[in-house]
Amino acid sequence: MMQDETIRQLLNRRDLGATRHRSAISRRLGLSETEMLAVAHLAQRGRLTPSALAELLDLSSGGVTALVQRLELAGHVERSRHPTDRRSVELELSAALVARAATAFHPLVGALDEISAELSEPEQAVVRRFLARVAIATEEHAARAHAELDRGAAAPTTPVPALWG
């Protein structure tokens, strides 16, 4: 059981470190936390409609409109017509922001690549499978938590003990 606790603690540490790093990079890029999350979602998915971005960020229609306008005015995102629904638009990151973000994230990406290169191919395969399952579980629980909020579910009245070990 101690191994599971150690893995949870390390995952939590990684999450906290990544959040702190993202916060510093967002300030360097002149983005708010919400703007940085929007950029991260667009970087991961390539293109999103404003409504899909609003859902991911838990923003209202007006909130995402204001966010997109700020990002577009700053030259961080570009709009284009949706390829199959001409009434809709898609958002994507500008090449200039992608280049700035790549430069900002380069030291961390390089360090992660070096760490990965130290693993044998079979070890990398195990880590990829594990992290893929962790990512899926985290995404599913995030979706479930947001769905519960949308249904008006109350917060638990007792804290969850030892969530991370």
Query: Of the given ranges (22-26, 45-49, 58-62, 153-157), which has the lowest mean pLDDT?
Result: 153-157
Residue 147 parent element (H or E): helix 121-150
Q: Output the six-digit token pair for 41.
A: 């979602």
Q: Are 119 and 127 in contact (CB under 8 A)?
A: yes
- Whether 164 is in a domain gets the answer no
Residue with tokens 């030259």: 75
- Whether 64 is in a domain gets the answer yes
Q: Output the six-digit token pair for 15.
A: 């999450």
pLDDT for the residue numbered 1: 45
- Whether 97 is in a domain gets the answer yes
- Would you say how long the chain is, in residues? 165
Q: Are residues 70 and 16 in the same domain?
A: yes
Residue with tokens 């510093």: 24
Give the residue-averaged pLDDT of 110-135: 97
Beta-carbon contacts of residue 90 (< 8 Å; ≥ 6 apart): 47, 48, 49, 79, 80, 81, 82, 83
User: How many whole angstroms separate alpha carbon 51 and alpha carbon 155?
Assistant: 26
- Tens of pLDDT along 73-120? 999 999 988 888 888 899 999 999 999 999 999 999 999 999 999 999
Q: Are residues 26 and 86 in the same domain?
A: yes
**For residue 29, which phi and psi values (nearest 5 degrees)?**
-85, -5
If one counts the domains in the chain, the total is 2
User: How many whole angstroms separate alpha carbon 99 and alpha carbon 152?
Assistant: 41
Q: Which structural domain, as residue segments, surrounds residue 141? A: 119-153
Q: Are residues 98 and 24 in the same domain?
A: yes
- Whether 79 is in a domain gets the answer yes
- Tens of pLDDT along 27-73? 999 999 999 999 999 999 999 999 999 999 999 999 999 999 999 99
- Whether 74 is in a domain gets the answer yes
Q: Are 60 and 54 in contact (CB under 8 A)?
A: yes
Q: Are residues 59 and 123 in the same domain?
A: no
Q: Are 26 and 100 in contact (CB under 8 A)?
A: no
Q: Output the six-digit token pair for 81.
A: 């017509």
Q: Are residues 88 and 23 in the same domain?
A: yes
Residue with tokens 């990398």: 124
Q: Are residues 13 and 91 in the same domain?
A: yes
Give the residue-averaged pLDDT of 140-148: 89
User: How many whole angstroms separate alpha carbon 59 and alpha carbon 12?
Assistant: 26
Residue 165 has pLDDT above 60, yes or no: no
Whichever domain contains 59, its CATH number is: 1.10.10.10
- Whether 114 is in a domain gets the answer no
